[in-house]
């Protein structure tokens, strides 16, 4: 199987819900939520891709970074690449049912592990999606993370206990799901959380806790105060609110405030290993990939997911060789120029 084949099969299987465009930038699918698009005008999704494309890399070849080291320590689990598959739920019923939820999650979890990394699994109004994700993570000895919607604290705490029982690497919440009014209509209301409410959740577990959906320096500082061990700088791939800033744009300021105090993950518009490099240079420790992983799963199941990640890994190696970066810690903002 090659990437071209994967994309062609994915295009067929996604039945027009996603066109698998040459560049996945939110233009063709603007407003298609449910679907793969961004909220309303799609501006938040589009800015993620656009702003990242304005970060330019300084090519350098007189150095000794001949064999870059890509290893990333994720809460004592060693990953071969600083790339994690993002939590994505509901492709089964949102995108024409070519893959069941179970098949999607198992393709992503196993394909990610084959490529030397891990996946996060998501949550939705229907709790069976999270439960299915945990069942699949159990088969791989908990090698992954469950990300919960900001439901009532008692529900979140109970759901984290289930993750503890199968020894997942961490637990977390996509707190930017707080405005999803459709969740209330389906009997699972969500809401923002105060720092005290977050502390109650975080103190209830020994698992490192990840807060996904942080877009400002102030909230990154609050995440540290609440006791989170990682944040994901994310606007949910532009799916929850139109006209947010891009993740690439807010990342440097967030990194300046909290780097070293908390792990900084980021997602939104990362489409290649070159984009992974750019995000690390802007201040991230590692990245999450969303839509490209959907293409992998819909185009080649486990093998498709693994190939997507392997391809990005090879692009990242090439970028590190051509910038003089021996390892992830040596990637910094002196290696890029920002043209926005
Ligand atoms: C179809 C779809 C479903 C998603 N479902 C979830 C989810 O259940 N939980 C979550 O935290 N994020 C969810 N996300 C957001 C992703 O985890 C991630 O933040 C986003 O896709 C990253 O942007 P990218 O797709 O441009 O890489 C979803 C995204 C898409 C496209």
What are 140-153's pLDDT values in tens digits?
999 999 999 999 99
Q: Does residue 156 sit in helix, strand or coil?
A: helix
Number of domains comprising the chain: 1
Asked whether the predicted pLDDT for residue 185 surpasses 90, the reply is: no
What's the 87 CA to ligand 1 centre distance in angstroms? 6
Q: Of all protein residues, whose CA lies closest to atom 15 belonging to ligand 1?
A: 236
| pLDDT at site 216 | 98
For residue 234, being part of any structural domain is answered with: yes
Res. 181 pLDDT band, cuts 50 70 90: confident
| pLDDT at site 96 | 83
For residue 23, being part of any structural domain is answered with: no
How does strand 72-74 pair with strand 77-79?
antiparallel
For residue 61, being part of any structural domain is answered with: no
pLDDT per position as a tens digit, 190-249: 999 999 999 999 999 999 999 999 999 999 999 999 999 999 999 999 999 999 999 999
Q: Which of 236, 278, 294 to mutate to test the pocket of ligand 1 (most atoms within 8 A of CB)?
A: 236
Ligand 1, residues at Cβ distance < 6 Å: 36, 48, 86-91, 122, 124, 147, 174, 212, 234, 236-237, 239, 267-270, 289-291
Bridge partners (DSSP) of residue 337 are 56
Q: Residue 49 and residue 53: Cα distance in Å, rounded? A: 6
For residue 338, being part of any structural domain is answered with: no
Is 239 annotated to bind ligand?
A: yes
CA distances from 93 to 17, 66, 96, 99 (A): 11, 46, 6, 9
Q: Residue 80 and residue 116: Cα distance in Å, rounded? A: 5
Are the beta carbons of 319 and 274 closer than 8 angstroms? Answer: yes
Q: Which of 86, 149, 188 to mutate to test the pocket of ligand 1 (most atoms within 8 A of CB)?
A: 86
| pLDDT at site 53 | 98
Peptide bond into 34 cis (omega under 30): yes
The residues, ordered by sequence, that sit 6+ positions from 206 with a Cβ below 8 Å of its Cβ are 164
**Cα-based angle 175, 316, 271 (whole degrees, multiple of 5):** 50
For residue 30, being part of any structural domain is answered with: no
CATH of the domain at 139: 3.20.20.70
Q: What percent of the chain has pLDDT over 70?
A: 100
Q: Of all protein residues, whose CA lies closest to atom 2 belonging to ligand 1?
A: 88
| pLDDT at site 121 | 98
How does strand 286-289 pair with strand 263-266?
parallel
Is 236 annotated to bind ligand?
A: yes
Q: How many CB atoms lie within 10 A of CB 262?
A: 22
List the catalytic residues: 236
Please give the average per-residue pLDDT across 9-30, as a whole number.
97
Q: Of all protein residues, whose CA lies closest to atom 6 belonging to ligand 1?
A: 88
Is 51 annotated to bind ligand?
A: no
Structure tokens at 95: 């995108």
Is 270 annotated to bind ligand?
A: yes
pLDDT per position as a tens digit, 264-291: 999 999 999 999 999 999 999 999 999 9
Is 212 annotated to bind ligand?
A: yes
Q: What is the largest CA-CA distance in the chain?
A: 60
Atom from ligand 1 closest to the CA of residue 87: 17
Asked whether the predicted pLDDT for residue 9 surpasses 90, the reply is: yes
User: Residue 64: phi, psi to the nearest 5?
Assistant: -115, 25
For residue 290, being part of any structural domain is answered with: yes
| pLDDT at site 34 | 87
Atom from ligand 1 closest to the CA of residue 123: 8
What's the 334 CA to ligand 1 centre distance in angstroms? 30
Are the beta carbons of 33 and 239 closer than 8 angstroms? Answer: yes
| pLDDT at site 303 | 98
User: What do you get for the CA distance between the two ends of the chain, in Å?
Assistant: 38
For residue 217, being part of any structural domain is answered with: yes
What's the 86 CA to ligand 1 centre distance in angstroms? 6
pLDDT per position as a tens digit, 48-105: 999 999 999 999 999 999 999 999 999 999 999 999 999 999 998 888 889 999 999 9
Q: Which residues form the domain of 167?
A: 72-323
Q: What is the pTM of this model?
A: 0.98
CA distances from 252 to 266, 286, 325 (A): 11, 14, 19
How confident is the prediction for the chain on average, in pLDDT?
A: 97
Residue 218's Cα: distance from chain center in Å? 21
Could you tell me if residue 142 is left (phi over 0), alpha (psi between -120 and 50 degrees) or otherwise beta?
left
Q: Residue 97 and residue 319: Cα distance in Å, rounded? A: 37
User: Residue 286: phi, psi to the nearest 5?
Assistant: -160, 170
What's the 323 CA to ligand 1 centre distance in angstroms? 30
Atom from ligand 1 closest to the CA of residue 94: 1
For residue 29, being part of any structural domain is answered with: no
CA distances from 232 to 26, 176, 264 (A): 21, 10, 6
Atom from ligand 1 closest to the CA of residue 176: 11
What's the 243 CA to ligand 1 centre distance in angstroms? 17
């Amino acid at each position: 199987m090659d990437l071209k084949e994967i994309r062609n099969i994915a295009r067929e299987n996604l039945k027009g819900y996603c066109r698998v465009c040459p560049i996945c930038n939110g233009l063709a699918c603007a407003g298609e939520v449910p679907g793969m698009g961004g909220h309303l005008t799609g501006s938040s999704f589009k800015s993620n891709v656009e702003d990242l494309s304005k970060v330019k890399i300084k090519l350098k070849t007189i150095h000794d970074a001949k064999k870059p080291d890509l290893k990333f320590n994720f809460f004592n689990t060693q990953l071969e690449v600083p790339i994690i598959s993002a939590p994505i739920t509901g492709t089964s019923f949102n995108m024409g049912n070519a893959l069941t939820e179970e098949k999607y999650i198992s393709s992503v979890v196993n394909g990610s592990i084959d490529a030397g990394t891990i996946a996060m699994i998501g949550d939705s109004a229907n709790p069976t999606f999270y439960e299915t994700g945990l069942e699949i993570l159990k088969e791989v000895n908990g090698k992954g993370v469950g990300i919960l919607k900001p439901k009532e604290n008692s529900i979140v705490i109970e759901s984290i206990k289930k993750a503890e029982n199968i020894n997942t690497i961490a637990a977390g919440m996509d707190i930017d799901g707080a405005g999803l009014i459709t969740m209330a209509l389906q009997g699972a209301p969500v809401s923002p959380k105060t720092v005290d409410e977050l502390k109650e959740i975080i103190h209830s577990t020994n698992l490192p806790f990840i807060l996904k959906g942080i877009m400002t320096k102030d909230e990154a500082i609050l995440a540290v105060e609440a006791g989170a061990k990682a944040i994901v700088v994310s606007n949910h791939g532009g799916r929850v609110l139109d006209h947010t800033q891009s993740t690439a744009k807010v990342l440097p300021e967030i990194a300046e405030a909290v780097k070293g105090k908390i792990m900084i993950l980021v997602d939104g518009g990362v489409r290649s290993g070159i984009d992974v490099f750019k995000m690390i240079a802007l201040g991230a420790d590692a990245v999450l990939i969303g839509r490209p992983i959907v293409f992998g799963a819909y185009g080649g199941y486990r093998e498709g997911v693994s190939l997507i990640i392997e391809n990005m890994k090879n692009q990242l190696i090439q970028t590190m060789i051509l910038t003089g970066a021996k390892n992830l810690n040596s990637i910094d903002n002196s290696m890029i120029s920002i043209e926005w």
